[in-house]
Every structure is written in C-alpha cells, then in structure tokens.
Amino acid sequence: MDNVLNFSRGSTPLLISMPHPGILLTPAVEAGLVEEAKHLSDTDWHIPRLYDFADELGASILEACYSRYVIDLNRPADDAPLYASATTGLFPTILFTGEPLYRAGCEPSSAERARYLAEIWAPYHQTLAGELARIKAEFGYALLFDAHSIRSSVPHLFDGLLPDFNLGTNAGASCDPQLSERLLAVCAAARDYSQVLNGRFKGGHITRHYGQPQTHVHAIQLELAQCTYMEEQVPFDYREDLAEPTQEVIRDLLQAMLTWGREHYGR
C-alpha cells in the first residue's frame, strides 16, 4: 500500500507518534461503512497541524495516513484487550458511539485484514521501533510522546466530560515517575485547562509496549479533548483561536520532556 505513513527524523531524543490522524480508507473498508461512519468521526483530527511546531524542537515525527477504521495502530497485533471497559479493537467494528461501523455482512474479509496488518500496522511499528533504537543508540535514552485526541464527551466509552489533558503512563509503568509528575505539573500550571494522570486513558499499546524505563525508553500518551482546539461536530473544523493557546501548553510539555532527559541523563 502507498502512503502508509509520514516520517521525519529529528535531532533530539524525542519521538512523537501520531497513530490516529489518518483518513485514508481501503476500497473494502470504504465500501462497507454505514452512512454515519463515512464522516470518520473517531479520527484524531488535525493532530499533525496542532503539532506543526514540533520539528523546531528537534523531534522526530511519525504520522499514520490510514484511518483507524482500517486498522488501529494503537492496538496489539494479537488484538488483546487493553481496557476492561468499553473500547474498540485492532479491526474496529463499532463507532465510539457503540453503533455498528459496517453494514451487515460488509466487513472486510480475513484476508483483507491480514493484509492491513502486514502492510499498514507492521511498517508503522517497524519505523517506530527502529527510530527509538536509533535515538537510544545516539543518546543513551529515548523519549516517546504518543499524541492523540478525542471528543470531550463519548458516553459509550466514559461517563461525563473528559479533562482537557489526559496523560497516560500505563499506571506509572511506561516512564520514570519524575517525568510524568513534571508533565502533570506543566498541565496544572496552564490556566483554563483541566488535567489528569492515568485517568480513563492510561495509554494504549504504543505506550505500554515501547515504554520501558528500566531500559531508558520513557513513553507517555496524551489524549487531548478536542474541544481545546477544534469543533467536535461535522465538519470538524480547526479553531485557530482555541488551538493557539493549546499549542503553547503542548510545546511546554515537549520542552519539559527534553529538559528532564538532559537533566536525568546528562545529555
């Protein structure tokens, strides 16, 4: 498959992963979607635009191009569940609302899905693993920031409204606790935003699998409420007036990661 991912190599120990901003569909997926699903409502909309300053910080950036409706890059290849509560799997069959993603009998075949695993999921994770290994070889450690967003209210998945900044570290297992506390403090210092560490979102497969602080790879996920930078309803417009102050907080988070790394590792 063409246009599976976009990748740019940076000059610092920081890699930003964006597994869910893609909107490309395969013919088999597109042909089977229910009408509501054609809006791609569960996309992490505009994430590359929101992080368009990150190359100035020297970050490596990995961005997926295919929709999570084709295959979810933040799920393990064996599709083992990540949450005890409602969620979606490696090959989603429901929308975040709980409604069916496909018309009856119109899901992609097992052969199609095996192809998505080999040609979309595998290249993303090979690139991710390879870049983390390169960074660690150069600096002695690596910092992984997994960038996500979601509507602030999704009753099927969680009660009430999400905090604005949802940091996840697999309940403290994916990064040094001093790093996560520093990032939480950055969010807490930002006026007009709410925050939580390891609340509803503790980090998906990427955070849990690659975050290995005992081997000096520190991973943290940010699940950002979309009301902080865009309209949450169709046509999902980007709101510069909302996004600009939100970008400043994200910039502070990324800079805090880099500063912690230099202080902790001496480089």
The pLDDT of residue 86 is above 80: no
Predicted pLDDT at 2 = 77
The average confidence (pLDDT) of the chain is 96
pLDDT single digits (tens) 116-139: 999 999 999 999 999 999 999 999
**Pairwise CA distance, residues 62 & 50, whole Å:** 14
Predicted pLDDT at 85 = 56
Q: What are the structural domains, with CATH classification, of the chain?
A: 5-265 (3.40.630.40)
Predicted pLDDT at 259 = 98
Predicted confidence band of residue 87 (pLDDT cuts 50, 70, 90): low
Predicted pLDDT at 99 = 95
Predicted pLDDT at 84 = 56
Could you tell me if 92 and 66 are in contact, meaning their C-beta atoms sit under 8 angstroms apart?
Answer: no
Predicted pLDDT at 1 = 72
- Per-residue HEC secondary structure of the chain comes to CCCCEEEECCCCCEEEEECCCCCECCHHHHHHECCHHHHCCCCCCCHHHHCCCHHHHCCEEEEECECCCCCCCCCCCCCCCCCCCCCCCCCCCECCCCCECECCCCCCCHHHHHHHHHHHHHHHHHHHHHHHHHHHHHHCCEEEEEEEEECCCCCCCCCCCCCCEEEECCCCCCCCHHHHHHHHHHHHHCCCCCEEECCCCCCCHHHHHHCEHHHCEEEEEEEEEHHHCECCCCCCCECHHHHHHHHHHHHHHHHHHHHHHHHHHCC
